[in-house]
Amino acid sequence: MDQKVTSKALLGELLDKHYQDAIDAKARGKLVAWSTSIAPQELLETMNIKVVYPENHAAAIGARKCAQEFIDDSESKGYSIDLCSYARVNLGYMSIRDSIAGNIPMPDFIFCCNNICNTVIKWYENIAKDLGVPIILFDMPFNHTYEVQEHSVKYIRGQFEDAIAKLEEISGEKFDYDRFREVMAVSSETARWWKKATSLAASVPSPLNGFDLFNYMATIVCMRGKQEGLNLFKLWAEELQEKIRNGEGPWKTGEEKYRIMWDGIACWPYLSDTYKTLKNHGINMVTSTYPDSWTIVYESNDIDGMARAYSSNYVNRNLDYGVDNIAGIVKEFSLDGIIYHSNRSCKLMDFRQYEVQRRVRERTGVPSVIFDGDQTDPRAFSLAQYETRIQTLVEMMEQRKQEGRCER
Amino acid sequence: MYMGIDIGSSSSKAVILDKTRRILASAVVNTGTGTQGPEKVVETALALAGLFPEDILYRVATGYGRMLYGKADRQITEISCHARGAAYLVPEAGTIIDIGGQDAKIIRVDRDGRVENFVMNDKCAAGTGRFIEVMARILDCPIDQLAELSTRATEEIAISSTCTVFAESEVISQLASGAKRENVAKGAHHSIAMRVAGLGGRIGIRPIVVMTGGVALNLEIVRALESEIGYRIVVAENPQATGALGAALYAAECNL
């Protein structure tokens, strides 16, 4: 045990443990919840209730290239091809209940928050109805104003209080407010370290190969309220700082020629294809709009602050914020270009994408491309189309760098 | 001498330039990637120019099949090549509309013919050459006579479906209920124009508008598109070969 554990190895261990703990809890007759990816997990952690995240699980199934079986199952039940593919994978998993990507126990109740997506409510309602289990719903209204309004904060706070009462009823145990304060503190601290680690990619060259972000993201979803999660992100930040000190770039071989941002979710079934196409051109995805969703930071014991933080997720905020956010990222991370993933599954993210692209382009002058794909449905992506768009982006970035001079 | 080879989904094109960037030969073969088309078009262009393969100093391949063609010195995307080719022919070009066999793209270029922004159709044949092929087949009309058929229309039968498969069944039912072929043909042309104009709206069309690609040979589509976007369209000379011309211009530049 002299060898220092890397954050990557620790990440794998923590994820395995996360799933195993949930399976063990279920076997011992303990409660298990299914939750959306950016829900107030603090409440569940306080009550020591094990949680699994169907979106995380669906992404893992997608990345293991075995989503089709689950998608076929749910489509044959009548779920439309136009629905989110995470939903189709998960609704298929509910009947198949076995995957090489790992298994999750069935839930005793549903924990659903619509700050990430408006249609997710219907998906989770269907799970609850199918399984005959209770649902705790957090309605976080879309912020048409730039900042979260006070009336929304009050509305959300009321829902937190209501959820606590429901959790006490479901579990038959009292909610421990002292423990809640501790969990809030750990959650905020973990989110801070997550932000710190991901921000280190602003160094040139970036010590971080951005596709690693997608891996670490699985843990910020499910480990935010835990000390282990906090330790992981501290370790990761240290490793990245060490790389910066040594002047190391994102890869063992190959130079970081272009720095780009990826807007939206990954194409999990084509993770390595999409990555290799970029790497072959020397493109490093240094950051993405997506990971910042878990930078949920507030003062401990400040429930209003917690309500505001959960409602502030970028997909829950208005167009002006969306544009400012990306324009800010372009500057902070010294970007050469932007790739927008027009994700067939995610209407919420795609809806304003063309307008965001137009405004960001106008404001920053940085070239960008939009490609069509999907987060988990392997049928909705064409590698040749992706390659052409990426190569065009390279040509535009190169033009901008060299002003017409030919480079070979 | 410099050669540009554009290997598309349904045709192959080649252009040869001399050292002063004058066009020596331009050839089109109606088979694309995965066929003998690319070889054939290169041979044809060389024969037209009276040259041998070793006379070519630099070759740039573009188009859908650019990566599969082994004899190019460099591959450049069809987006950059169409922009370069169109800007060479029409130096004041602001927007290029290229409709080919399986894709439609709108490219905004700056004053130097450099790509500023572009938008392409997604995984959908609507608004592409493939849509016209399907329409020509069900209207039982050779594809090069479809425009002529449309000019004889007395009214337009609108095709409301965007999806090519849905549009096909819509047209079949129109014909079955007695609609005239020429009126349906007019609707088909309009349908493509609307789809492409919609695509253009995403990035904004700036004059002068130049149209390239095989579909530009159909003047009815050009006319319908002009009325949809509200700008006059300049059809590139030999529109099918614009991508190959751009590739040849890049080849000349790369060999400096």
Q: pLDDT at position A1, please? A: 46
Q: What is the pLDDT of residues A252-299, one digit of tens each?
A: 999 999 999 999 999 999 999 999 999 999 999 999 987 788 888 998
Rounded to 10°, the helix A85-96/A120-131 angle is 10
Arithmetic mean of pLDDT over chain B: 92
When CB atoms are compared, the residue of B64, B115, B122 closest to A384 is B64
- Compute the Cα dihedral for A318, A319, A322, A325 and give only its sign: negative
Q: pLDDT at position A8, please? A: 93
Residue A15: pLDDT above 90? yes
**B4 falls in which pLDDT band (50, 70, 90)?**
very high
Count Cβ atoms within 10 A of the Cβ of residue B52 and give its class: 0-12 exposed, 13-18 middle, 19 or more buried.
Answer: exposed
As a whole number of Å, the end-to-end CA separation of chain A is: 48
State how far the Cα of A285 lies from the Cα of A244, in Å rounded to an integer: 17
- What is the residue extent of each domain of chain A? 7-175, 180-402
* B104 and B45 together in one domain: no
Give which of A388, A401, A402 to mutate to test B binding, by max B Cβ within 10 Å.
A388
Give which of B6, B79, B116, B250 to mutate to test A binding, by max A Cβ within 10 Å.
B79
Q: Strands of B233-235's sheet, edge to edge?
A: B115-120, B104-109, B95-99, B209-212, B233-235
Which chain B residues are Cβ-neighbours of A384 within 8 angstroms? 64
Q: Residue range A212-231: average pLDDT?
A: 92
When CB atoms are compared, the residue of B77, B123, B256 closest to A382 is B123
* B205 and B110 together in one domain: yes
Q: Does residue A284 sit in helix, strand or coil?
A: strand
Q: pLDDT at position B194, please? A: 92
**A404 falls in which pLDDT band (50, 70, 90)?**
very low
Q: What is the pLDDT of residues B209-219, one digit of tens each?
A: 999 998 999 99
Q: What is the pLDDT of residues A309-325, one digit of tens each?
A: 999 999 999 999 999 99
Arithmetic mean of pLDDT over chain A: 94
State how far the Cα of A92 lies from the Cα of A71, in Å rounded to an integer: 6
**A233 falls in which pLDDT band (50, 70, 90)?**
very high
Residues 67-96 of B with CB under 8 A from A: 67, 74-80
State how far the Cα of A223 lies from the Cα of A186, in Å rounded to an integer: 10
Give me the CATH code for the A7-175 domain, please. 3.40.50.11890
* B22 and B121 together in one domain: no
Are the beta carbons of B76 and B62 closer than 8 angstroms? yes
The minimum CA-CA distance between A407 and chain B, rounded to whole Å, is 8
**Amino acid occupying residue B13:** K
Q: What percent of chain A has pLDDT over 70?
A: 98
Q: pLDDT at position A290, please? A: 78
CB contact under 8 A, A361 and B117: yes
State how far the Cα of A303 lies from the Cα of A43, in Å rounded to an integer: 11
Which chain B residues are Cβ-neighbours of A369 within 8 angstroms? 118
State how far the Cα of B35 lies from the Cα of A75, in Å rounded to an integer: 37
Q: Residue range B135-148: average pLDDT?
A: 93
State how far the Cα of A213 lies from the Cα of A333, in Å rounded to an integer: 15
Q: pLDDT at position A403, please? A: 65
Q: Residue range A225-238: average pLDDT?
A: 95
- Extract the tokens encoding A55: 């979106």
State how far the Cα of A399 lies from the Cα of A336, in Å rounded to an integer: 11
Which chain B residues are Cβ-neighbours of A382 within 8 angstroms? 123
Residue B154 structural domain: 93-235
Q: pLDDT at position A214, please? A: 87
* B231 and B167 together in one domain: yes
Q: What is the pLDDT of residues B59-74, one digit of tens each?
A: 999 999 999 898 999 9
| CATH-assigned architecture of domain A180-402 | 3-Layer(aba) Sandwich (3.40)
Q: In this structure, how many other beta carbons lie within 10 angstroms of the beta carbon of residue A199? A: 17
Are the beta carbons of B137 and B172 closer than 8 angstroms? no
Q: What is the pLDDT of residues A86-107, one digit of tens each?
A: 999 999 999 999 999 999 999 9
B111 part of contact set with chain A, CB < 8 Å: no
- Give the count of domains, chain B: 2
Residue A405: pLDDT above 60? no
Residue B195: pLDDT above 60? yes
* B75 and B118 together in one domain: no
User: Which ranges of B24-67 would DSSP assign to H, the alpha helix?
Assistant: 37-49
* B215 and B98 together in one domain: yes
Nearest to A197 by CA among A215, A184, A222: A215
What CATH number should be reported for the domain holding residue B192?
Answer: 3.30.420.40
Residue B9: pLDDT above 90? no
Q: pLDDT at position A19, please? A: 95
Burial A106-118 (b: 16+ CB within 10 A, else e): ebbbbbbbbbbbe
* B99 and B123 together in one domain: yes
pTM (two decimals):
0.90
* B169 and B137 together in one domain: yes
Q: Does residue B187 sit in helix, strand or coil?
A: helix
Residue A228: pLDDT above 50? yes
Residues 312-351 of A with CB under 8 A from B: 342
Residue B75: pLDDT above 80? yes
**B129 falls in which pLDDT band (50, 70, 90)?**
confident
B54 part of contact set with chain A, CB < 8 Å: no
| Fold match between domain A7-175 and domain A180-402 | yes
**B256 falls in which pLDDT band (50, 70, 90)?**
low
Q: What letter would DSSP give residue B163?
A: S
Structure ipTM: 0.82
* B202 and B244 together in one domain: no
Q: Residue range A108-115: average pLDDT?
A: 97
Q: pLDDT at position A3, please? A: 67
- Extract the tokens encoding B110: 């700056």
Residue B157: pLDDT above 60? yes
Residue A407: pLDDT above 80? no
Instruction: Identify which of A159-168, A313-322, B153-162 has the greatest average pLDDT.
Output: A159-168
Residue in A closest to B75 by C-alpha = A391
Helix (H) / strand (E) element for A148: namely none
Q: pLDDT at position A408, please? A: 37
E strands present in A65-190? 109-113, 135-138
User: Which ranges of A132-226 would DSSP assign to H, the alpha helix?
Assistant: 150-171, 177-199, 211-222
Residue A406: pLDDT above 60? no
* B133 and B78 together in one domain: no
Residue B112: pLDDT above 80? no
* B56 and B117 together in one domain: no
* B50 and B166 together in one domain: no
